[in-house]
Chain A
Amino acid sequence: MSGATKAGISVTGLSKGFGGTPVLRDIDLTIAPGERVVVIGPSGTGKSTLLRCLNFLDRPDAGTVRVGDLNVDVGTATTAQILALRRRTSFVFQNYALFANRTARDNITEGLITVKGQPKAQARARADAILSEIGLADRGDAYPSALSGGQQQRVGIGRAMALDADLMLFDEPTSALDPEWVGEVLDLMRRVAGRGQTMLIVTHEMQFAREIADRIVFMDGGRIVEQGPPADLLGNPQDPRTRDFLRRVV
């Protein structure tokens, strides 16, 4: 990472519905620089939608998203603001979503060249450094179709790392993986966390959540029900819905 001081993130009053069905209801969430927040909760409860609304992949219906000095109000958000917001956040997808027409290396350089405007040689050097970090130094020229699921997801994380974003968003990054590849992806996420990257992670890997999170947020029915340090939230949940959920998954 660049070592530059990163900005915190805050979300206020975020709401989103699909076809009249509310999915997110008035979400408030603040994440401090370097903090690692894991979101858990039942399926269909708005966890992924929260991440997708944070960078406007899904446009929220109301609310504001603030990253450092960039304050985006849903009601007045301009295209330029949305692009700026996306450039300060990075996203890791459940199904990797690698560019199929680009090699592993070029998946990583793409944002550096087209979005950050870096010269090709510089972007390439950075991509090669990232490829080493994600353990794929020898696979830079491979196209996604030639990589295993675990390798593809590591490239997906590498592509997000290249943006050097204030906040990295992980949308169930291991849910689509065969069990044999889950470990390597979680290991990489631990290394990313170890460098002080601010992270917001949706996952069903409870053991991993307990270990990596500074704070766990439990969502149900489009709302944040309760949140706290892993030991508190997992060890001594206050809300009956949290207790009920944890009984089923742990």
Chain B
Amino acid sequence: MQPLDLGYMWALLPVLLAYVPLTLFMAAVAMVCALVLAMFLAVERVVRVPVLDWVVRLFISFFRGTPLLVQLFLFYYGLPQVLTFMGGIDGVTATIMGLTLHFAAYMAESIRAAILGVDRSQWEAAQSIGMTRTQVMTRIVLPQAARVAAPTLVNYFIDMIKGTSLAFTLGVTELMGSAQKEAAGSFLYFEAFLVVAAIYWVMVEVLAFGQRHLEVWLNKAVVR
């Protein structure tokens, strides 16, 4: 076995770090979009609007039931063939779209469960003081559901950060794609992918640190 080429890894680090902003950009945009979408899906699943409920269930079923990679290929290579206005879609947009829809389906289910976990009597109390359904949801129920759902949602965000590496399969030069190119030139695959792994790992750990603070803040109402 050959020793690791530490000098190569050290030199590669700044090259790959330059792609961290793109990774975080794709994950962050997809996370925000997925959260908003998941919130609507979850609320719909709780209040069950006729017909719409059927559509939402089909949506969740499809995006949970098929691999993310398949969905990305559908958006990037497949859809432009049938929907001409999608012809100009670039890999980054397709990745963000795929991550959004895929993870919204998962998040919707966690948010739905968290909503149902809020004591029914608090809904009634909010109604009894004359709040509208929207006010009950946005001011009383969703903030409490957020506390319950937060750890799971952060987990999905971590998954999304790692999921951005699939953009490489759509021809996007991002963290993973760039490492692949560098390694193909140097033949030092182990070193290159080790650096990539380390970068993802550190990003996720930083996020986990933030998660602990977020949870302390969200739990302030229940800690004595």
A-side residues, CB < 8 A to B, are: 55, 57, 83-84, 86-87, 89-91, 93, 95, 97-102, 110-111, 114-115, 143-146, 156, 159-160, 163
B130 touches A91 (CB 8 A): no
A101 touches B140 (CB 8 A): yes
- Residues in A neighbouring B129, C-beta threshold 8 A: 86-87, 90-91, 110-111, 115, 159-160, 163
B141-180 near A? 1/0 per residue, CB < 8 Å: 0011001000000000000000000000000000000000
A83 touches B222 (CB 8 A): no
B122 at the interface (CB under 8 A from A): yes
Stretch at the interface among B14-22, B131-139, B183-191: B131-139
25 residue pairs bridging A and B, Cβ less than 8 Å apart: A55-B128, A57-B127, A57-B128, A86-B128, A87-B130, A89-B128, A90-B128, A90-B129, A91-B128, A91-B129, A93-B124, A93-B125, A97-B122, A97-B125, A99-B140, A100-B144, A101-B140, A111-B130, A114-B135, A115-B130, A115-B135, A143-B221, A144-B221, A145-B221, A159-B129
A100-B122 contact in complex given A110-B129, A111-B131, A115-B129, C-beta closer than 8 Å: yes
- Residues in A neighbouring B84, C-beta threshold 8 A: none
B-side residues, CB < 8 A to A, are: 119, 121-122, 124-132, 135, 139-140, 143-144, 147, 220-224
By CB atoms of chain A within 10 A, which of B122, B124, B129 has the most? B129
A97 touches B119 (CB 8 A): yes
By CB atoms of chain B within 10 A, which of A55, A99, A110 has the most? A99
- Residues in A neighbouring B221, C-beta threshold 8 A: 100-102, 143-145
- Residues in B neighbouring A98, C-beta threshold 8 A: 122, 125
Instruction: Give A111's nearest chain B residue, CB to CB.
Output: B129
Instruction: Give B136's nearest chain A residue, CB to CB.
Output: A114
Instruction: Give B223's nearest chain A residue, CB to CB.
Output: A145
- Residues in A neighbouring B147, C-beta threshold 8 A: 101
By CB atoms of chain A within 10 A, which of B121, B130, B139 has the most? B130
What are the 8 tightest A-B residue pairs by CB atom distance, in nearest-first order? A111-B129, A87-B130, A91-B128, A97-B121, A97-B125, A86-B130, A115-B130, A143-B221
B128 touches A145 (CB 8 A): no
Q: How far is A145 from B222 in the complex, measured between Cα atoms in Å?
A: 6
B122 touches A99 (CB 8 A): yes
Partner of A95, one of B121, B127, B132: B121
By CB atoms of chain B within 10 A, which of A83, A114, A143 has the most? A114
Question: How many residue pairs bridge A and B at CB < 8 Å?
Answer: 75
- Residues in B neighbouring A90, C-beta threshold 8 A: 128-129
- Residues in B neighbouring A115, C-beta threshold 8 A: 129-131, 135
Partner of B132, one of A83, A102, A110, A145: A83
Q: How far is A175 from B184 in the complex, measured between Cα atoms in Å?
A: 74
- Residues in A neighbouring B124, C-beta threshold 8 A: 57, 91, 93, 97
- Residues in B neighbouring A100, C-beta threshold 8 A: 119, 122, 144, 221-222
- Residues in B neighbouring A57, C-beta threshold 8 A: 124, 127-128
CB distance from A230 to the nearest CB of B (A): 28
- Residues in B neighbouring A114, C-beta threshold 8 A: 131, 135, 139
Q: How far is A158 from B132 in the complex, measured between Cα atoms in Å?
A: 21
Instruction: Give A88's nearest chain B residue, CB to CB.
Output: B130
Q: How far is A114 from B134 in the complex, measured between Cα atoms in Å?
A: 11
CB distance from B143 to the nearest CB of A (A): 5
- Residues in B neighbouring A102, C-beta threshold 8 A: 221
CB distance from A162 to the nearest CB of B (A): 8
A163-B130 contact in complex given A114-B139, A145-B221, C-beta closer than 8 Å: yes
- Residues in A neighbouring B131, C-beta threshold 8 A: 111, 114-115
- Residues in A neighbouring B122, C-beta threshold 8 A: 97-100
By CB atoms of chain B within 10 A, which of A101, A102, A146 has the most? A101
CB distance from A191 to the nearest CB of B (A): 21
Q: How far is A159 from B125 in the complex, measured between Cα atoms in Å?
A: 10
CB distance from A57 to the nearest CB of B (A): 5
Instruction: Give B222's nearest chain A residue, CB to CB.
Output: A145
Instruction: Give B220's nearest chain A residue, CB to CB.
Output: A143
Partner of A101, one of B121, B128, B143, B223: B143
Instruction: Give A113's nearest chain B residue, CB to CB.
Output: B139
B224 touches A145 (CB 8 A): yes
